[in-house]
Amino acid sequence: MELKIGLLGCGTVGGGVVELIRMRADKIAAMTGFYPIITDVLVRDLTKERKVQFQHERLTDQASNILDNDDIKVVIETMGGIEPARTMILAALRAGKHVITANKDLIALHGPEIIEAAEAARCDFLYEAAVGGAIPLIRPLKESLTANEITDLKGIINGTTNYILSKMTESGANYEEVLKEAQDLGYAESNPASDVDGLDAARKLTILAGIAFGAKVSLDDVEVKGIRTIAASDVAYAHELGAVIKLLAVGKDDGKSIALEVRPSLVPKSHPLATVNDAFNALFVHGDAAGDLMFFGRGAGSLPTASAIVGDVIENLRNISMNIPSRFRTGPVASRAVRKGSPEPLRYYLRMHAKDQPGVFAHIASLFAKAEISLETVLQKRAHDNQAEIVIVTHETPSAALSSIVEQLTARGDLLEIKNVMPMEKGDA
């Protein structure tokens, strides 16, 4: 039996969906009893040349041709952005259509509203593709790890920044150079703010934390620091310290409160996340019964994202065939405080420039000693212009003590300038 699908948006991801559904239509029919056909595709520009070859699919620039078409049972949204995606998805759900999307921005900001609308309509609203591209993350968290209290999430969930940091590590080049190259190759947007400032990762973390911790969290709960301040010298020092720099999204739930953070970190090379390069994503999950788990794969791209979307389509069609759409209702949501920042002592990397004169180093060392912060590694090198470059890695230090020492160091602007501060992860999972 044919099942008609409407597609909202036909860029890179939408094109992949058209292709993959066509490739797998027979297999999907055998698995679900429904032969899926994309009948209508909403695009902004009907005349634009597209990579994907359309066959029976009708192009339209009128959303109503999909949303008001009673023959269309399933809507796939790949436009991205908040509006008009939100309005269209809500309209589709109200019309009794199942919705599948990869729209992380929308779910991070309006997830509860849309999920409520889906439950009211007894429709599926599935979004495995919204975080981690092809990597199964949402379903394992919702179905496989349900016997656990999840206490930790830690991951590389933005491909653009991971590409930039990987290239900086490989080539020793500067941030600006590599960003320019990434933009030329289409891996970074011409306005890269959402990626390089960590906002995209923060949105994804919001989605993951809500599911993993079973709690209400919002984008405002995430402390966010991006990668613009990472210098080639930080990458080189990280290497000297046996580590690589990664933009990590970190969530912790200690049962009382939840802490959420996106920030560049030094990851020792022995840690599995250190081998996650280029456009790959990976998420570490710690469950109280399961222990440490990691999920790794392509976080973006046409077919990898389509893999997750079409996987959701197959789940949806199976659910329709068994008359159980919307089978997992929202679980009980625990109310726990959400606070920003690192909740536990971490090692910290500090890079600073200091006047190359007698006594400066001793002064810095005495400040750390007074604050009772012990040092794991100290590197001092000659920088330019009579300046010494000093890199310090502390032993595990509470974040309050770290903030205090950073303040004291900053107050000595006559002697030194802090160039960068980052946490350094433990060596193993």
Q: Which stretch binds its own copies (CB under 8 A): 28-36, 186-194, 337-345, 404-412?
A: 28-36
Q: Judged by CB under 8 A, does residue 307 bind its own copies?
A: yes
Burial of 71 (0-12, 13-18, 19+ CB in 10 A): exposed
Q: Judged by CB under 8 A, does residue 250 bind its own copies?
A: no
What's the min distance (Å) between Cβ of 284 and its own copies?
A: 9
- Torsions phi, psi of 134, nearest 5? -75, -15
At CA 243, angle to CA 241 and CA 247, rounded to 5?
135
- Annotated catalytic sites, by residue? 204
Measured from the CB atom, is 88 or 150 closer to its own copies? 150
**Binding residue (CB under 8 A) for its own copies from 67, 314, 350, 422:** 314
Any alpha helices (H) in 68-153, and if so which ranges? 85-94, 104-120, 138-139
**Binding residue (CB under 8 A) for its own copies from 315, 338, 343, 392:** 315
Q: Judged by CB under 8 A, does residue 292 bind its own copies?
A: yes
Q: Judged by CB under 8 A, does residue 94 bind its own copies?
A: no
At CA 81, angle to CA 77 and CA 83, rounded to 5?
85
Could you give the CA distance from residue 341 to residue 344 in angstroms, rounded to a whole number? Answer: 9
What's the min distance (Å) between Cβ of 289 and its own copies?
A: 4
Q: Judged by CB under 8 A, does residue 20 bind its own copies?
A: yes
Q: Judged by CB under 8 A, does residue 274 bind its own copies?
A: yes
Residues 6+ apart with CB under 8 A from 406: 350, 418, 421
Measured from the CB atom, is 226 or 311 closer to its own copies? 311
Query: Do residues 278 and 163 make contact, with C-beta atoms less than 8 angstroms apart?
Result: yes
Q: Judged by CB under 8 A, does residue 320 bind its own copies?
A: no
Q: Judged by CB under 8 A, does residue 199 bind its own copies?
A: no
What is the DSSP code string of 46-65?
A: TT---SSPPSSPEEES-THH
What's the min distance (Å) between Cβ of 312 and its own copies?
A: 9
Side-chain half-sphere CA neighbours of 332 within 13 A: 3
Q: Judged by CB under 8 A, does residue 108 bind its own copies?
A: no
Q: Judged by CB under 8 A, does residue 139 bind its own copies?
A: yes
**Binding residue (CB under 8 A) for its own copies from 81, 172, 255, 331:** 331
Closest CA to 38 of 71, 87, 84: 71
Measured from the CB atom, is 280 or 348 closer to its own copies? 280
C-alpha torsion sign, points 400, 404, 407, 409: negative
Q: Judged by CB under 8 A, does residue 136 bind its own copies?
A: yes
